[in-house]
Structure 1
Amino acid sequence: MVDFGTVYLVATGAALLLALGVGLRVLVGIFRDGRERSRKRREGEIDRYTEDPVYDRDPPDPDADGGTPSTCPQCGAENESEFTYCHECAAPLGPGG
């Protein structure tokens, strides 16, 4: 008779070994890529520090849309031009502000 506990342990062990093998291949690839990049930096093929287009940008200008602060018609609070509702009383600011 087949013991299902033993079959479960064997199947789980095989799946874990397979996952370990795949994970090791990925880690070896990452390690090789890092060594290759280090070699290229040492030999001057690539710059040591390259500009990152995401993090090297200037912060956005809050007044870039040319809008002016709008006043809430209900409570009179000053709101940013991009707000649709008042930050104080949550009243709609409307299309004109």
Structure 2
Amino acid sequence: MTTPEQIYAAVVIGLLLAAIGISIPVLKGIYRDGLERQAERRHNDIETETTGAEPTASDDATGDRKRLPCQQCGVENDPAFTYCRNCLEPL
């Protein structure tokens, strides 16, 4: 016969496994997105170096690029961001 403690442990373990199973594809997507963005930045840096063009303010990370304000908290975000860097709401 099973005790309530064993049933509780089985339910908790099942829920943990379900949470891990759900989170792994999401984490893989985030990782792939990061790799793609990193490769895109490297590609843009290589093009700037090979063309010999001087970086403009829009190419500079600290330049006056058009920043997107968050609708929820008002923090300005980089145009490449999908989510707010402060409150994590979709932009």
Normalising by the residue count of structure 2, what TM-score does the alignment of the two structures yield?
0.48
| More helix as a share of residues | 2
Normalising by the residue count of structure 1, what TM-score does the alignment of the two structures yield?
0.45
